[in-house]
Protein backbone atom coordinates (compact mmCIF):
# COMPACT_ATOMS: atom_id res chain seq x y z
CA UNK A 1 0.00 0.00 0.00
CA UNK A 2 1.04 3.57 -0.35
CA UNK A 3 2.28 6.30 1.98
CA UNK A 4 2.42 9.70 0.31
CA UNK A 5 2.29 7.92 -3.03
CA UNK A 6 5.25 5.62 -2.27
CA UNK A 7 4.68 1.87 -2.13
CA UNK A 8 5.37 0.33 1.29
CA UNK A 9 5.09 -2.99 2.97
CA UNK A 10 5.36 -3.22 6.73
CA UNK A 11 8.56 -5.28 6.82
CA UNK A 12 11.38 -5.90 4.35
CA UNK A 13 15.07 -6.75 4.05
CA UNK A 14 17.27 -3.67 3.82
CA UNK A 15 18.48 -2.94 0.31
CA UNK A 16 22.01 -4.27 -0.25
CA UNK A 17 22.15 -5.61 3.32
CA UNK A 18 20.43 -8.97 3.81
CA UNK A 19 21.53 -9.05 7.45
CA UNK A 20 19.25 -6.17 8.41
CA UNK A 21 15.45 -6.13 8.48
CA UNK A 22 13.51 -2.88 8.30
CA UNK A 23 10.12 -2.07 9.78
CA UNK A 24 7.89 0.93 10.18
CA UNK A 25 7.97 1.78 13.88
CA UNK A 26 4.23 2.03 14.44
CA UNK A 27 4.49 3.72 17.80
CA UNK A 28 5.02 7.06 16.11
CA UNK A 29 2.33 6.89 13.43
CA UNK A 30 0.45 8.88 12.24
CA UNK A 31 2.66 11.78 13.26
CA UNK A 32 6.08 10.47 12.26
CA UNK A 33 7.12 7.87 9.73
CA UNK A 34 10.15 6.23 11.32
CA UNK A 35 11.88 3.26 9.71
CA UNK A 36 13.72 1.09 12.21
CA UNK A 37 16.61 -1.31 11.53
CA UNK A 38 16.40 -4.67 13.28
CA UNK A 39 19.80 -6.35 13.39
CA UNK A 40 19.88 -8.67 16.41
CA UNK A 41 17.39 -11.23 17.70
CA UNK A 42 16.87 -9.00 20.70
CA UNK A 43 15.74 -6.15 18.42
CA UNK A 44 12.97 -8.40 17.10
CA UNK A 45 11.93 -9.50 20.58
CA UNK A 46 11.75 -5.89 21.67
CA UNK A 47 9.93 -4.72 18.52
CA UNK A 48 7.17 -7.28 19.02
CA UNK A 49 6.87 -6.90 22.79
CA UNK A 50 6.89 -3.09 22.75
CA UNK A 51 4.61 -3.01 19.71
CA UNK A 52 6.86 -1.25 17.22
CA UNK A 53 5.14 -3.84 15.05
CA UNK A 54 1.78 -5.35 15.84
CA UNK A 55 -1.17 -7.16 14.29
CA UNK A 56 -1.23 -10.94 14.00
CA UNK A 57 0.21 -11.43 10.48
CA UNK A 58 2.91 -8.82 10.97
CA UNK A 59 3.91 -10.30 14.32
CA UNK A 60 4.25 -13.65 12.50
CA UNK A 61 6.36 -12.08 9.74
CA UNK A 62 8.60 -10.26 12.21
CA UNK A 63 9.13 -13.37 14.30
CA UNK A 64 10.22 -15.54 11.38
CA UNK A 65 12.69 -12.93 10.18
CA UNK A 66 13.89 -12.75 13.79
CA UNK A 67 14.48 -16.47 13.60
CA UNK A 68 16.46 -15.96 10.39
CA UNK A 69 18.65 -13.38 12.17
CA UNK A 70 19.09 -15.88 15.03
CA UNK A 71 20.38 -18.38 12.44
CA UNK A 72 22.91 -15.76 11.28
CA UNK A 73 24.03 -15.17 14.87
CA UNK A 74 24.16 -18.84 15.84
CA UNK A 75 27.38 -20.86 15.79
CA UNK A 76 27.58 -24.00 13.68
CA UNK A 77 26.71 -27.51 14.90
CA UNK A 78 24.71 -28.61 17.94
CA UNK A 79 25.47 -25.40 19.83
CA UNK A 80 23.94 -23.45 16.99
CA UNK A 81 20.72 -25.43 17.24
CA UNK A 82 20.55 -24.70 20.96
CA UNK A 83 21.05 -21.01 20.23
CA UNK A 84 18.23 -20.99 17.65
CA UNK A 85 15.89 -22.91 19.98
CA UNK A 86 16.54 -20.44 22.73
CA UNK A 87 15.95 -17.50 20.37
CA UNK A 88 12.67 -19.11 19.32
CA UNK A 89 11.54 -19.24 22.97
CA UNK A 90 12.40 -15.58 23.49
CA UNK A 91 10.51 -14.54 20.37
CA UNK A 92 7.51 -16.60 21.42
CA UNK A 93 7.44 -15.18 24.93
CA UNK A 94 6.73 -11.66 23.65
CA UNK A 95 2.94 -11.68 23.19
CA UNK A 96 0.59 -14.58 23.93
CA UNK A 97 -2.60 -14.03 21.95
CA UNK A 98 -1.82 -13.76 18.22
CA UNK A 99 -1.42 -17.33 17.06
CA UNK A 100 0.54 -16.29 13.94
CA UNK A 101 3.55 -15.78 16.19
CA UNK A 102 3.45 -19.48 17.00
CA UNK A 103 2.18 -20.95 13.71
CA UNK A 104 4.67 -19.12 11.46
CA UNK A 105 7.69 -19.75 13.68
CA UNK A 106 6.75 -23.41 14.04
CA UNK A 107 6.74 -23.86 10.27
CA UNK A 108 10.13 -22.21 9.86
CA UNK A 109 11.74 -23.85 12.89
CA UNK A 110 10.70 -27.36 11.82
CA UNK A 111 12.49 -26.86 8.50
CA UNK A 112 15.51 -25.03 9.95
CA UNK A 113 16.37 -27.93 12.22
CA UNK A 114 16.69 -30.14 9.15
CA UNK A 115 19.56 -27.96 7.90
CA UNK A 116 22.89 -29.78 7.91
CA UNK A 117 25.02 -26.78 8.83
CA UNK A 118 24.86 -23.09 9.64
CA UNK A 119 24.76 -21.99 6.00
CA UNK A 120 21.89 -24.30 5.21
CA UNK A 121 19.92 -23.19 8.27
CA UNK A 122 20.34 -19.55 7.27
CA UNK A 123 19.21 -20.22 3.73
CA UNK A 124 16.16 -22.26 4.84
CA UNK A 125 15.10 -19.62 7.36
CA UNK A 126 15.42 -16.80 4.85
CA UNK A 127 13.74 -18.57 1.99
CA UNK A 128 10.82 -19.78 4.17
CA UNK A 129 10.31 -16.41 5.82
CA UNK A 130 10.13 -14.73 2.43
CA UNK A 131 7.69 -17.36 1.21
CA UNK A 132 5.40 -16.99 4.25
CA UNK A 133 5.47 -13.22 3.94
CA UNK A 134 4.53 -13.36 0.25
CA UNK A 135 1.85 -15.95 0.97
CA UNK A 136 0.34 -13.79 3.71
CA UNK A 137 0.17 -10.71 1.48
CA UNK A 138 -1.56 -12.77 -1.18
CA UNK A 139 -4.01 -14.22 1.38
CA UNK A 140 -4.95 -10.72 2.47
CA UNK A 141 -5.49 -9.73 -1.15
CA UNK A 142 -7.79 -12.75 -1.61
CA UNK A 143 -9.79 -11.83 1.52
CA UNK A 144 -10.43 -8.55 -0.24
CA UNK A 145 -11.90 -10.23 -3.30
CA UNK A 146 -14.41 -12.24 -1.23
CA UNK A 147 -15.35 -9.35 1.05
CA UNK A 148 -15.75 -7.15 -2.02
CA UNK A 149 -18.80 -9.18 -3.12
CA UNK A 150 -20.53 -8.46 0.21
CA UNK A 151 -19.93 -4.73 -0.08
CA UNK A 152 -21.03 -4.73 -3.71
CA UNK A 153 -24.34 -6.40 -2.97
CA UNK A 154 -25.09 -3.99 -0.10
CA UNK A 155 -24.21 -1.09 -2.39
CA UNK A 156 -26.70 -2.39 -4.95
CA UNK A 157 -29.39 -2.75 -2.25
CA UNK A 158 -28.61 0.84 -1.16
CA UNK A 159 -28.99 2.05 -4.76
CA UNK A 160 -25.38 3.18 -4.79
CA UNK A 161 -25.47 5.17 -1.52
CA UNK A 162 -22.18 4.82 0.39
CA UNK A 163 -21.84 1.55 2.28
CA UNK A 164 -21.11 2.31 5.94
CA UNK A 165 -18.64 -0.16 7.41
CA UNK A 166 -17.56 -0.15 11.04
CA UNK A 167 -14.17 -1.53 12.02
CA UNK A 168 -12.37 -1.95 15.33
CA UNK A 169 -8.66 -1.59 16.04
CA UNK A 170 -6.32 -1.79 13.07
CA UNK A 171 -6.73 -4.88 10.94
CA UNK A 172 -5.34 -2.94 8.03
CA UNK A 173 -2.21 -3.29 5.95
CA UNK A 174 -0.23 -1.83 8.85
CA UNK A 175 -1.20 -4.90 10.92
CA UNK A 176 -0.31 -7.28 8.11
CA UNK A 177 2.24 -7.40 5.31
CA UNK A 178 0.02 -5.66 2.78
CA UNK A 179 -3.71 -5.00 2.03
CA UNK A 180 -4.86 -5.82 5.59
CA UNK A 181 -7.59 -8.24 6.55
CA UNK A 182 -10.63 -6.11 7.51
CA UNK A 183 -9.52 -3.29 5.21
CA UNK A 184 -8.75 -5.42 2.16
CA UNK A 185 -12.41 -5.63 0.99
CA UNK A 186 -12.78 -1.92 1.69
CA UNK A 187 -9.81 -1.06 -0.52
CA UNK A 188 -11.07 -3.42 -3.22
CA UNK A 189 -14.51 -1.76 -3.19
CA UNK A 190 -13.11 1.76 -3.10
CA UNK A 191 -10.72 1.01 -5.96
CA UNK A 192 -13.62 -0.40 -7.99
CA UNK A 193 -15.54 2.84 -7.57
CA UNK A 194 -18.08 1.60 -5.01
CA UNK A 195 -18.74 4.39 -2.51
CA UNK A 196 -17.75 3.32 1.00
CA UNK A 197 -17.44 5.12 4.29
CA UNK A 198 -15.69 3.64 7.33
CA UNK A 199 -16.51 4.23 10.98
CA UNK A 200 -13.16 3.87 12.72
CA UNK A 201 -13.32 2.88 16.40
CA UNK A 202 -10.57 4.75 18.22
CA UNK A 203 -9.68 1.55 20.14
CA UNK A 204 -8.42 2.57 23.53
CA UNK A 205 -5.98 2.21 25.15
CA UNK A 206 -3.40 2.27 22.34
CA UNK A 207 -5.72 3.88 19.81
CA UNK A 208 -4.78 1.67 16.88
CA UNK A 209 -7.99 2.76 15.13
CA UNK A 210 -7.60 6.49 15.63
CA UNK A 211 -3.87 6.44 14.85
CA UNK A 212 -3.35 3.67 12.32
CA UNK A 213 -6.61 2.75 10.60
CA UNK A 214 -7.50 6.40 10.10
CA UNK A 215 -3.97 7.01 8.76
CA UNK A 216 -3.98 4.22 6.21
CA UNK A 217 -7.54 4.86 5.03
CA UNK A 218 -6.66 8.52 4.64
CA UNK A 219 -3.52 7.68 2.69
CA UNK A 220 -5.64 5.59 0.32
CA UNK A 221 -8.34 8.24 0.01
CA UNK A 222 -11.09 6.17 1.66
CA UNK A 223 -13.75 8.34 3.35
CA UNK A 224 -13.81 7.62 7.07
CA UNK A 225 -14.80 9.07 10.43
CA UNK A 226 -13.07 8.33 13.74
CA UNK A 227 -15.47 7.60 16.60
CA UNK A 228 -14.86 6.87 20.25
CA UNK A 229 -15.31 3.27 21.24
CA UNK A 230 -18.73 3.77 22.79
CA UNK A 231 -20.47 5.13 19.71
CA UNK A 232 -20.89 2.02 17.56
CA UNK A 233 -24.02 0.73 19.31
CA UNK A 234 -25.79 4.05 18.90
CA UNK A 235 -24.89 4.20 15.20
CA UNK A 236 -26.22 0.70 14.68
CA UNK A 237 -29.49 1.51 16.43
CA UNK A 238 -29.96 4.38 14.00
CA UNK A 239 -29.27 2.41 10.82
CA UNK A 240 -25.92 4.09 10.26
CA UNK A 241 -23.86 0.89 9.96
CA UNK A 242 -24.39 -1.56 7.08
CA UNK A 243 -21.65 -3.98 7.93
CA UNK A 244 -18.96 -4.67 10.53
CA UNK A 245 -15.55 -5.99 9.44
CA UNK A 246 -13.00 -6.90 12.10
CA UNK A 247 -9.80 -8.92 12.11
CA UNK A 248 -8.68 -11.66 14.45
CA UNK A 249 -5.60 -12.55 16.43
CA UNK A 250 -6.69 -16.12 17.06
CA UNK A 251 -9.83 -17.96 15.98
CA UNK A 252 -10.62 -21.45 17.22
CA UNK A 253 -11.76 -24.37 15.11
CA UNK A 254 -15.33 -23.81 16.28
CA UNK A 255 -15.20 -20.16 15.14
CA UNK A 256 -14.75 -18.29 18.44
CA UNK A 257 -12.82 -15.14 17.69
CA UNK A 258 -10.20 -13.38 19.79
CA UNK A 259 -9.67 -9.83 18.63
CA UNK A 260 -8.76 -6.47 20.14
CA UNK A 261 -10.55 -5.71 23.39
CA UNK A 262 -14.01 -4.27 22.71
CA UNK A 263 -14.75 -6.38 19.66
CA UNK A 264 -17.20 -8.51 21.65
CA UNK A 265 -19.30 -5.47 22.59
CA UNK A 266 -19.52 -4.49 18.92
CA UNK A 267 -20.63 -8.00 18.05
CA UNK A 268 -23.38 -7.85 20.69
CA UNK A 269 -24.61 -4.52 19.37
CA UNK A 270 -24.48 -5.79 15.79
CA UNK A 271 -26.46 -8.88 16.79
CA UNK A 272 -29.12 -6.81 18.53
CA UNK A 273 -29.49 -4.58 15.48
CA UNK A 274 -29.25 -7.21 12.73
CA UNK A 275 -26.07 -5.70 11.36
CA UNK A 276 -23.88 -8.34 9.64
CA UNK A 277 -20.69 -8.91 11.64
CA UNK A 278 -17.87 -10.46 9.61
CA UNK A 279 -14.45 -11.58 10.80
CA UNK A 280 -11.67 -11.45 8.22
CA UNK A 281 -8.56 -13.59 8.64
CA UNK A 282 -5.95 -15.59 6.80
CA UNK A 283 -5.80 -19.24 7.82
CA UNK A 284 -2.58 -18.53 9.72
CA UNK A 285 -4.76 -16.90 12.41
CA UNK A 286 -6.82 -20.06 12.99
CA UNK A 287 -5.76 -22.21 15.92
CA UNK A 288 -6.96 -25.67 14.93
CA UNK A 289 -5.90 -27.06 18.30
CA UNK A 290 -8.46 -25.02 20.25
CA UNK A 291 -12.23 -25.20 20.36
CA UNK A 292 -13.65 -23.09 23.16
CA UNK A 293 -12.25 -19.61 22.74
CA UNK A 294 -13.42 -18.28 26.10
CA UNK A 295 -11.63 -20.85 28.18
CA UNK A 296 -8.73 -21.72 25.88
CA UNK A 297 -7.38 -18.59 24.18
CA UNK A 298 -4.65 -16.90 26.24
CA UNK A 299 -5.54 -13.24 26.69
CA UNK A 300 -2.69 -10.78 26.94
CA UNK A 301 -2.69 -8.39 29.89
CA UNK A 302 -0.53 -5.32 29.32
CA UNK A 303 0.80 -2.62 31.60
CA UNK A 304 -1.59 -0.25 33.34
CA UNK A 305 0.33 2.81 32.07
CA UNK A 306 -1.25 2.24 28.62
CA UNK A 307 -4.64 3.00 30.20
CA UNK A 308 -3.47 5.76 32.49
CA UNK A 309 -1.63 7.77 29.85
CA UNK A 310 -2.56 8.86 26.36
CA UNK A 311 -0.12 9.76 23.59
CA UNK A 312 -0.47 12.52 21.04
CA UNK A 313 1.12 15.47 19.32
CA UNK A 314 1.82 18.46 21.55
CA UNK A 315 3.44 21.47 19.85
CA UNK A 316 4.91 19.24 17.16
CA UNK A 317 6.33 16.73 19.68
CA UNK A 318 4.91 13.27 20.42
CA UNK A 319 4.14 13.26 24.14
CA UNK A 320 2.32 11.18 26.72
CA UNK A 321 -0.05 12.79 29.17
CA UNK A 322 -1.55 11.39 32.33
CA UNK A 323 -5.34 10.92 32.20
CA UNK A 324 -6.18 9.35 35.54
CA UNK A 325 -5.46 10.25 39.14
CA UNK A 326 -1.82 9.14 39.50
CA UNK A 327 -2.62 6.61 42.20
CA UNK A 328 -5.67 4.97 40.56
CA UNK A 329 -5.05 1.40 39.55
CA UNK A 330 -5.93 0.45 35.96
CA UNK A 331 -6.57 -2.89 34.26
CA UNK A 332 -5.50 -3.56 30.67
CA UNK A 333 -6.70 -6.71 28.91
CA UNK A 334 -5.61 -6.57 25.28
CA UNK A 335 -8.19 -8.88 23.70
CA UNK A 336 -11.62 -10.38 24.18
CA UNK A 337 -13.37 -13.37 22.69
CA UNK A 338 -16.48 -13.09 20.54
CA UNK A 339 -18.34 -16.40 20.60
CA UNK A 340 -19.05 -17.88 17.16
CA UNK A 341 -22.81 -17.42 17.59
CA UNK A 342 -22.39 -13.65 17.15
CA UNK A 343 -20.30 -13.93 13.99
CA UNK A 344 -22.26 -13.74 10.72
CA UNK A 345 -19.40 -15.22 8.74
CA UNK A 346 -15.65 -15.66 8.49
CA UNK A 347 -13.88 -14.36 5.39
CA UNK A 348 -10.62 -16.13 4.59
CA UNK A 349 -8.37 -16.41 1.55
CA UNK A 350 -10.44 -19.44 0.51
CA UNK A 351 -13.87 -17.83 0.73
CA UNK A 352 -16.62 -17.02 3.22
CA UNK A 353 -17.89 -19.58 5.69
CA UNK A 354 -20.13 -19.95 8.70
CA UNK A 355 -18.36 -19.40 12.02
CA UNK A 356 -18.46 -23.03 13.08
CA UNK A 357 -16.27 -26.09 12.91
CA UNK A 358 -18.38 -27.41 10.04
CA UNK A 359 -18.10 -24.12 8.18
CA UNK A 360 -14.35 -23.80 8.61
CA UNK A 361 -13.76 -27.44 7.67
CA UNK A 362 -15.64 -26.91 4.40
CA UNK A 363 -12.94 -24.39 3.48
CA UNK A 364 -10.07 -26.34 5.08
CA UNK A 365 -10.96 -30.05 4.68
CA UNK A 366 -7.32 -30.99 5.30
CA UNK A 367 -7.81 -29.96 8.97
CA UNK A 368 -10.27 -32.84 9.48
CA UNK A 369 -7.34 -35.07 10.28
CA UNK A 370 -6.02 -32.72 12.90
CA UNK A 371 -8.99 -33.20 15.27
CA UNK A 372 -7.62 -33.65 18.77
O1 LIG B 1 -2.54 -5.54 20.07
P2 LIG B 1 -2.43 -5.47 18.58
O3 LIG B 1 -2.47 -4.10 18.03
O4 LIG B 1 -1.30 -6.31 18.04
O5 LIG B 1 -3.76 -6.17 18.13
C6 LIG B 1 -3.88 -6.69 16.90
C7 LIG B 1 -4.98 -6.05 16.20
O8 LIG B 1 -4.83 -4.99 15.66
C9 LIG B 1 -6.20 -6.71 16.11
O10 LIG B 1 -6.82 -7.19 17.16
C11 LIG B 1 -6.62 -6.96 14.73
O12 LIG B 1 -7.94 -6.68 14.63
C13 LIG B 1 -6.28 -8.33 14.28
S14 LIG B 1 -4.71 -8.47 13.56
C15 LIG B 1 -5.01 -8.25 11.87
Residue 248 near ligand 1, beta carbon < 6 Å: yes
Assess whether the C-beta atom of 170 lies below 6 angstroms from ligand 1.
yes
- Per-residue pLDDT tens for 176-231? 999 999 999 999 999 999 999 999 999 999 999 999 999 999 999 999 999 999 99
Q: How far is the CA of 131 from the centre of ligand 1 (A)?
A: 22
pTM recorded for the entire structure: 0.96
Same fold? 2-135, 141-370: no
Q: Quick one: pLDDT band at residue 268, thresholds 50, 70, 90?
A: very high
What is the distance in A from the centroid of ligand 1 to the CA of 81? 32
Name the nearest CA neighbour of 62 among 94, 17, 34. Answer: 94
CATH code of the domain made up of 141-370: 3.40.50.10470
Does the CB atom of residue 54 touch ligand 1 within 6 A? yes
Q: Quick: pLDDT tens for 236-254.
A: 999 999 999 999 999 999 9
User: 369 falls in which pLDDT band (50, 70, 90)?
Assistant: low
Domain extent listing, the chain: 2-135, 141-370
Q: Which of 249, 256, 287, 336 is catalytic?
A: 249
Atom of ligand 1 nearest to the CA of 171: 15
**Known active-site residue 100:** no
Amino acid 331: pLDDT? 98
Ligand 1 atom index nearest CA of 258: 10
Whether 76 shows a pLDDT value over 70: the answer reads yes
Query: Exposed, middle or buried, 42 (CB in 10 Å: 0-12/13-18/19+)?
Result: middle
pLDDT of residue 175 exceeding 80: yes
Nearest in space to 195 (alpha carbons), one of 247, 231, 152, 244 = 152
**Res. 370: pLDDT tops 60:** no
Average pLDDT over residues 353-359: 98
- Who's near 342: CB < 8 A, 6+ residues apart? 264, 267, 268, 270, 271, 277
Mutate to test the pocket of ligand 1, among 96, 198, 259, 302 (most ligand atoms within 8 A of CB): 259
Bridge-based pairing state of the strands 286-287 and 250-252: parallel
Banded pLDDT at 286 (limits 50, 70, 90): very high
Give kind and range of the element (H or E) at residue 1. Answer: none
| Other beta carbons less than 10 A from residue 352's beta carbon | 18
Is 302 in contact with 324 (CB distance < 8 Å)? no
Q: Is-contact 319 346, C-beta < 8 A?
A: no
Q: Which CATH class is domain 2-135?
A: mainly alpha
Q: Give the pairing type, strands 224-227 and 196-201.
A: parallel
The number of the ligand 1 atom at minimal distance from the alpha carbon of 176 is: 15
Amino acid sequence: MKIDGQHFRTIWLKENDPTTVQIIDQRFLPHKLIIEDLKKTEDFVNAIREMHVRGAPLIGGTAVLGLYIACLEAPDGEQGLNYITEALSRLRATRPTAVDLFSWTERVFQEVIKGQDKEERISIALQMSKQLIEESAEHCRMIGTYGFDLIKSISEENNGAPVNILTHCNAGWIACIDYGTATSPIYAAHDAGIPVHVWVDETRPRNQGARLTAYELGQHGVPHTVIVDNVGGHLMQHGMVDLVFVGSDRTTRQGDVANKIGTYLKALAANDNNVPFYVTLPHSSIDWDLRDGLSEIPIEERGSEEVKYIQGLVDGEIKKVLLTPPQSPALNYGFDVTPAKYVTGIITERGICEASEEGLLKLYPEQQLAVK
